[in-house]
Amino acid sequence: MYRYDEFDAQIVKERVDQFRSQVERRLSGDILEDEFKPLRLQNGVYLQLHAYMLRVAIPYGQLNAARMRKLAKVARDYDRGYGHMTTRQNIQYNWVALKDIPDVLEELAEVEMHAIQTSGNCIRNVTSDHFAGATKDEIMDPRPWCEIIRQWSTFHPEFAFLPRKFKIAVTAAEHDRAAIRVHDIGLHMRERDGVVGFEVHVGGGQGRTPIIAAMVNEFVPESEILDYLEAIMRVYNRFGRRDNKYKARIKILVTETGPEEFTRLVEEEYAAQQTSEKIALPEAEIDRINAYFAPPAFEDKTETSAAFERAKTADPAFANWAKVNLHPHKVAGYTSVTISLKPIAGLAGDATDSQMMVMAHLAERYGFDDIRVTHAQNVVLPHIALDDLYEVYRELAAAGLATANESLITDMIVCPGLDYCNLANARSIPVGQEIQKVFADPAYEQDIGKLHINISGCINACGHHHVGHIGILGVDRKGEEYYQVSLGGRADEKATVGQIIGKALRYEEVPSAVKTIVDTYRDLRTSQDEKFIDTVERLGVEPFQEAIYATD
Amino acid sequence: MTSVRPKLKPDTPKTITAWETASGKVVWLRADQTWTSDPGEIGVFTGDAAEAALEGAKTQEGEITDPYFMEVTEDGKVAGRETLRETIRANGPTVPYGVII
């Protein structure tokens, strides 16, 4: 877990004071909205459909109990008793009053949190694998480098006014859970001949122009990565388009320039860096940051737990949850728990203040004070002993937090849509709820297996619909909500943009269309081991198109 | 400008809507040109009077933020192309929130 030093604490405090003064001037009418907007955006404050929205940064999704309790307190004291977890592993509050936001930021600063660079054309929160530091399939813990990149990119004067927003993700696991190929820069940590480095992907993104990132360098050693990132950013800052907001992301630059030429420009920029410009991180500094992420004091345990096995036998609901919501841990006798924030017909990604308090308590009591927010809008307790799992489950269940659906069809990414967002064309949340109801039977859902549905309420794609196995995009047709369905998208190491399968459907047609798609898959799969996405890849979208549109 | 702003003809009944700056609450202009957060009190304007009301609203940008025309019926109900958006904006999300399911 990161820690502030005295300079960090001071700079965040000064930033809060500065914003307080800006808000006072806005409320007195000394500055108007056009002048205030860039100031509020630099502090994570949006004006949404009904109210202001405050987005708080959660660096690479990691929290501890104290920070989670503070988030709960903000929800309770300044909002309407809940918060919404985002696909950048952050949290958003939907109802906070502008006059209160300086106080909120002051409270957040008490626990080393802020809302800086959660909006605007700057480098946003660095995201990562939510199982980082716990999962068996990583070559190392990527969080120290996430933190180094965070520190490098925070208040970096050269990159405060980029052509457009900029998102970086880092993973160190073979299976990409951080969607790095749909990021402006995706970094995949590798080890080569004993040297740690990064495979560098650039120019991925979603929005109205979905593009899978190009690999611009197979291996940049860790000692050179900040300089290399700086070279990429400089090429973007210099050549990225500023004349058209929709063509301003680095993905357009990489595509229009061509990945080879773009790579050449980066290499040229990198080679031109003067020795005095190079960021030579002192070893002591790297050691200091590594120490923040030292593994917790795990006990020596066996692979299996008698208490865990007994509880599974005694409580079938627990056994079912444990079958779905656990992820293998690198240390024997431990597991990573996904707390689903996707109850059937619930609010995808939302947690109430009381639920946040429960999660904080469980992390503190059983989980080495470690909590993660996932890009799929769930929460993870990364280090839970199997021996303690049943206690954890019972407390989660009592708080409405034990839905057994991690990575199943009801575990959807859903943007706030027209229920909250000023940009949306259609609602996302209720469509997701209606789909969930179709698949609410756990046996049916588990028979379907791993399947990601992602829903966006507009082409900005905050719900990642392009990379959903089933993607659903809300569109406006003369004031009515319609939904375009795409198939075959994925955000992992085989990242692909989904293919639209036909004309948009009316709101009420969507759940049955999804059921038709799913039942078509169940008919066509070679065995239960063939996942939905594999069937779509094997057969293409035609059989699904036929199933939905044949009777038209 | 942060949301969809359809162009409305001069004789189309309309009101002025905005957000209260301090709280972010949605507000509409009453017939007497004061602000209300009650959609039942929406004032209806047309023609030059509507233009004058919008211009007047723009001079109050300390109290309110980003005023714009919103189409309404003659009796002040949400109407037109943006009915769904403006209805949600007036009444809140269509899904219950802040509750444990």
pLDDT one-digit tens code per residue, A371-404: 999 999 999 999 999 999 999 999 999 999 999 9
Mark whether A417 and A391 lie in a shared domain: no
More confident site: B98 or A405: A405
Mark whether A102 and A236 lie in a shared domain: no
Mark whether A525 and A459 lie in a shared domain: yes
Mark whether A154 and A286 lie in a shared domain: yes
In-domain check, residue A1: no
Question: Phi, psi at residue B71, to the nearest 5°?
Answer: -70, 140
In-domain check, residue A117: no
pLDDT one-digit tens code per residue, B57-70: 999 989 999 999 99
A127-128 vs A195-202, strand pairing mode: unpaired
Mark whether A316 and A382 lie in a shared domain: yes
In-domain check, residue A288: yes
* Mean pLDDT, residues A460-483: 96
Whole-prediction pTM = 0.96
Question: Phi, psi at residue A519, to the nearest 5°?
Answer: -70, -30
CB B55 within 8 A of CB B97: no
Contact B81 A345 (CB under 8 A): no
Mark whether A60 and A172 lie in a shared domain: no
Helix and strand totals (H; E) in chain A: 18, 21
Mark whether A311 and A285 lie in a shared domain: no
Confidence label for B1 from pLDDT (cuts 50, 70 and 90): very low
**AA identity, residue A401:** L
Mark whether A189 and A284 lie in a shared domain: yes
Nearest by CB to B94, which of A350, A354, A419? A419
**What H or E segment, with its residue span, contains residue A379?**
strand A379-385
A462-471: b (≥16 Cβ within 10 Å) or e? bbbbbbbbbb
CB A317 within 8 A of CB A324: no
ipTM of this predicted complex?
Answer: 0.95
In-domain check, residue A23: yes
The answer for residues whose C-beta is within 8 angstroms of residue A24's C-beta and 6 or more apart is none
Q: Which residues of A touch B (CB under 8 A)?
A: 26-30, 32-33, 47, 49-52, 80-82, 94-99, 343-347, 350, 352, 354-355, 399-400, 418-420, 422-423, 427, 429-430, 433, 478-481
pLDDT at A256: 97
Confidence label for B3 from pLDDT (cuts 50, 70 and 90): low
pLDDT at A550: 83
Contact A51 B82 (CB under 8 A): no
pLDDT at A51: 96
- Scan for tokens 């309770």, then name that residue: A76
In-domain check, residue A115: no
Mark whether A322 and A268 lie in a shared domain: no
In-domain check, residue A127: no
Confidence label for A1 from pLDDT (cuts 50, 70 and 90): confident
In-domain check, residue A490: yes
Q: Round the average pLDDT of chain A to a whole number and report it.
A: 97
pLDDT at B6: 80
Q: Which residues of B touch A (CB under 8 A)?
A: 2-3, 19, 21-26, 61-63, 65-66, 80-85, 88-89, 92-101
Domain total in chain A: 4
Mark whether A475 and A445 lie in a shared domain: yes
pLDDT one-digit tens code per residue, A309-359: 999 999 999 999 999 999 999 999 999 999 999 999 999 999 999 999 999
pLDDT at B2: 45
Enclosing domain of residue A439: 413-549
Nearest by CB to A352, which of B66, B85, B98? B98
pLDDT one-digit tens code per residue, A44-57: 999 999 999 999 99
pLDDT at A552: 53
pLDDT at A551: 63
CA distance B60 to chain A (A): 8
The answer for residues whose C-beta is within 8 angstroms of residue B80's C-beta and 6 or more apart is A479, B6, B8, B12, B71, B72
CB A483 within 8 A of CB A467: no
Share of chain A above pLDDT 90, in %: 96
* Mean pLDDT, residues A404-426: 97
The answer for residues whose C-beta is within 8 angstroms of residue A168's C-beta and 6 or more apart is A123, A124, A126, A127, A149, A153, A183, A184, A185, A186, A187, A229
The Cα angle at residue A245 between residues A240 and A251, in degrees rounded to 5? 45
Mark whether A228 and A345 lie in a shared domain: no
